[in-house]
């Protein structure tokens, strides 16, 4: 989780942190340790071309592990790297139009409550920061703006203050009810020079709203002191 100014940044994406944590678990004596650490580093830096080549030329087992993590934890990046390929990860080849953009951007939903000693500060439960069970999907800046706009919030999330958690749950629940049987349209991949964007499948917004609704409910059930949700 990225905790804005309240917590030292532990990594740009949930995928990179998951891979890096696993590398720490197996330790530097493992033959796959450096592969995992370099994958996390390249992923954080946005060097998708170098990352794809690094994975492609790695052994099958660690390569499949990191591809699986990226596909689940950071599906937008996986889409940019491998397009709409399906089947075994070991048979997938990276897109030929990848570049090393080195652009670090994106946001996710973070739970907050007022600091007990300073009402002007936001903070979070100590156990929450390392609780993968309630980590929200990491989204690009454009996707986060689109997500917030669909819910009626300020799409400029950098200027959006944390919103009441119960209000967010009510608003996402209402959105889901209104869109029963209405899947968000497919968004084709677009390219501007070396920059690739879009590529969302049909129903992507429905999935994102549902996922955030469920995570928000888990958060307030597990951490009743949480009152607000921020996006950064």
Quickly state the pLDDT bin for 226 (edges 50, 70, 90). very high
Residues 89-109, mean pLDDT to the nearest whole number: 75
Q: In this structure, are 85 and 162 located in the same domain?
A: no
DSSP codes, 1-46: ---GGGS----S-HHHHHHHHHHHHH-TTSTTHHHHHHHHHHHHHT
More confident of the two residues 166 and 91: 166
Q: Structural domain tally of the chain?
A: 2
Q: In this structure, are 82 and 133 located in the same domain?
A: no
164: DSSP letter: E
Is 104 domain-assigned?
no
Domain limits at 36? 4-91
Q: In this structure, are 26 and 122 located in the same domain?
A: no
pLDDT digits (tens, 9 = 90+) for 11-58: 457 889 899 999 999 999 999 999 999 999 888 888 888 898 889 888
Is 187 domain-assigned?
yes
Residues 130-154, mean pLDDT to the nearest whole number: 87
Quickly state the pLDDT bin for 140 (edges 50, 70, 90). confident
Is 58 domain-assigned?
yes
Burial class of 95 by CB neighbour count within 10 A (0 to 12, 13 to 18, 19+):
middle
What are the strands, taking DSSP E only, across the chain?
109-115, 118-123, 163-164, 187-192, 195-200, 228-231
Report yes or no: 75 and 143 within 8 Å, Cβ to Cβ. Answer: no
The pLDDT of residue 198 is 53
Is 102 domain-assigned?
no
Q: In this structure, are 13 and 68 located in the same domain?
A: yes
The pLDDT of residue 63 is 94
Is 54 domain-assigned?
yes
Is 113 domain-assigned?
yes
Q: In this structure, are 87 and 113 located in the same domain?
A: no
Q: In this structure, are 137 and 71 located in the same domain?
A: no
Q: In this structure, are 144 and 197 located in the same domain?
A: yes
Q: In this structure, are 53 and 148 located in the same domain?
A: no
Is 29 domain-assigned?
yes
User: Both tokens of residue 30?
Assistant: 């493992």
Q: In this structure, are 75 and 153 located in the same domain?
A: no
Q: In this structure, are 124 and 208 located in the same domain?
A: yes
Is 183 domain-assigned?
yes
Q: In this structure, are 60 and 134 located in the same domain?
A: no
pLDDT digits (tens, 9 = 90+) for 192-225: 454 445 567 888 899 999 999 999 999 999 999 9
Q: In this structure, are 200 and 131 located in the same domain?
A: yes
Quickly state the pLDDT bin for 5 (edges 50, 70, 90). very low
């Amino acid at each position: 989780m990225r905790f804005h100014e309240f917590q030292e940044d532990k990594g740009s994406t949930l995928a990179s942190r998951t891979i890096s944590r696993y590398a720490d678990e197996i330790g530097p004596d493992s033959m796959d340790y450096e592969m995992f650490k370099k994958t996390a580093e390249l992923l954080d830096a946005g060097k998708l071309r170098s990352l794809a080549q690094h994975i492609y030329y790695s052994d099958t087992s660690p390569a499949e592990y990191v591809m699986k993590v990226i596909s689940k934890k950071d599906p937008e990046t996986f889409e940019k790297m491998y397009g709409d390929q399906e089947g075994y990860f070991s048979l997938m080849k990276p897109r030929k139009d990848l570049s090393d953009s080195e652009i670090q951007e994106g946001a996710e939903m973070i739970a907050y409550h007022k600091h007990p000693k300073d009402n002007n500060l936001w903070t979070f439960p100590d156990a929450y920061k390392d609780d993968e069970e309630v980590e929200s999907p990491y989204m690009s800046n454009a996707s986060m703006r689109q997500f917030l706009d669909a819910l009626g919030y300020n799409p400029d999330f950098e200027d959006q203050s944390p919103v009441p958690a119960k209000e967010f749950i009510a608003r996402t629940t209402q959105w889901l009810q209104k869109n029963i049987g209405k899947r968000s349209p497919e968004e084709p991949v677009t390219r501007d020079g070396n920059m690739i964007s879009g590529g969302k499948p049909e129903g992507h917004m429905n999935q994102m709203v549902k996922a955030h609704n469920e995570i928000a409910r888990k958060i307030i059930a597990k951490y009743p002191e949480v009152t607000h949700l921020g996006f950064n």
